[in-house]
Amino acid sequence: MDNKRNTQTIIIIALLVLALLAGLIWWLKPNSAPTTVTGTNTATSTTTVSTTDDTTATDAETQATNSKASTAFTTGLERMPRSLQDTDVDGEIIIDENKQLVVTEGLRRLFDYFLSAMGEENEATIVARVEAYIRHHTPEPAASSAIDIFHQYISYLKELDGLQDSYGNLQMQATQAGKLDLNLIAQRGQDVNRIRQKLFDENTIQAFFGGEDAYEDYSVAMVSIEQDNSLNAAQKKTSREDYISRLPEGEIKQNFQKQANFGELTQRTEEMKAKGASKEELFVMRRGLVGEAAASRLAIVDTEDANFDARFNQYQTKRQALIKNAGSETKAQVQIDQLERSQFSDTERKRLAGYAGLKKQGY
């Protein structure tokens, strides 16, 4: 059971790293319904410049926009492409009291918001749109600084795309044992950093990519620990805790601590349930790891799961009887469907096939 869980853990974390690395260029793209613009506190007095989309367009108008990109925009929000219509502009432009640009991760989100329409609009149109948006909503010299960084960012995405092609599909580098080639990942990271150093100053690199790098480093570290066959389970746990403890204080560290706690929570819950722990014992353990509120919610989930499991076992017994009486599952299908509807809600019925599979595997 433990070996199976460890293998699944390796695969899950490995896929996370692969998603981060193989899809790094698309990390920048927001969802089709971006969130509302918000400001960020800075060390100096700042002003957050934001707006919302107040114009829409038909597909024909969007096509017309593509043909006259350089002169089409005043605010940058005219004749928005379909995917951005009826959405709020995501991101932020922050300036200090001297009208100097304060670079934040929100500026990158702003660029990504408009770049997400690539394909609906050509590059020249998007560039003209973003430049118009910045100049309409931002005073100098901050406006020119933001535009310069935007052009650097476009160059970065293009070089990153070329780098992705040169490395190919990183997933193919995983061995049949489910391990990742961490040396290849490290080399690719160095190449990405060289591109960043060439195009951006250190302040922009930290603002745009600092959080992303922290999560990527964490994922790689967790894979490295999990793949270290010289460590037993307890030593791996200690190594993971040590890595997190050495991180700087802040939201990212807190997120990693919560993730580690929930990982330990799952393992300890399985172990305690296997030993016949009481509800009270489970609650005390969970409260210590994730707090009283989460422990209470998990207790409710336990009750719901136990209820579902009992009904499932009854359903399986009746289902087998129906099949035996009818002579085949096909002949009993109408009665089986009626049984399912009487025992489970529509949402629960969607779980039945998967749950049956887990029960066969001994879960």
Token reading at 72: 């089409």
- The total number of residues written for the chain in this structure: 363
- Strands of the 46-49 sheet, one edge to the other: 46-49, 93-96, 101-102
| Residue 34 placed within a domain | no
Same-domain check for residues 60 and 158: yes
Tokens 């790098």 appear where? 213
Same-domain check for residues 23 and 102: no
Same-domain check for residues 223 and 307: no
Report pTM. Answer: 0.56
pLDDT score for 54: 44
Consecutive H or E run containing 47:
strand 46-49
pLDDT in tens, 206-241: 999 988 888 787 777 777 777 777 888 778 777 877
CA-based end-to-end distance of the chain: 9
Same-domain check for residues 331 and 247: no
Q: Which domain holds residue 247?
A: 2-27+169-266
| Residue 183 placed within a domain | yes
Token reading at 195: 């591109």
How far is the C-alpha of 326 from the C-alpha of 332, rounded, in Å?
A: 6
How far is the C-alpha of 46 from the C-alpha of 41, rounded, in Å?
A: 7
When divided into structural domains, the chain yields a total of 3
Contact partners, residue 10, CB within 8 Å, separation at least 6: 178, 179, 223, 226, 227
pLDDT score for 295: 81
CA distances to 40, 116, 265, 268, 285 from 298, in Å: 35, 39, 11, 13, 11
pLDDT score for 169: 55
For 59-105, give the DSSP string.
HHHHHHHHHTGGGS-SSS-TT--GGGTT-PPPS-EEEETTS-EE--H
Domain boundary among 266, 297, 317: 266
How far is the C-alpha of 308 from the C-alpha of 316, rounded, in Å?
A: 12
Number of H helices, E strands in the chain: 14, 3
How far is the C-alpha of 235 from the C-alpha of 225, rounded, in Å?
A: 9
Same-domain check for residues 151 and 195: no
| Residue 272 placed within a domain | no
How far is the C-alpha of 37 from the C-alpha of 52, rounded, in Å?
A: 8
| Residue 38 placed within a domain | no
| Residue 309 placed within a domain | yes
pLDDT score for 222: 76
Domain boundary among 266, 297, 326: 266
Contact partners, residue 51, CB within 8 Å, separation at least 6: 37, 75, 77, 89, 137
Same-domain check for residues 328 and 254: no
Same-domain check for residues 195 and 175: yes
Sign of CA dihedral 165, 170, 171, 176: positive
Same-domain check for residues 50 and 160: yes
Same-domain check for residues 51 and 155: yes
pLDDT score for 346: 82
Tokens 């509800």 appear where? 279
CA distances to 35, 39, 181, 299, 349 from 86, in Å: 12, 21, 44, 41, 36
> What one-character DSSP code corresponds to residue 56?
-
CA distances to 12, 56, 58, 66, 151 from 69, in Å: 44, 17, 16, 6, 16
pLDDT score for 305: 85
Q: Residues in the chain with pLDDT < 70?
A: 1-71, 166-180, 250-251, 257-263, 360-363
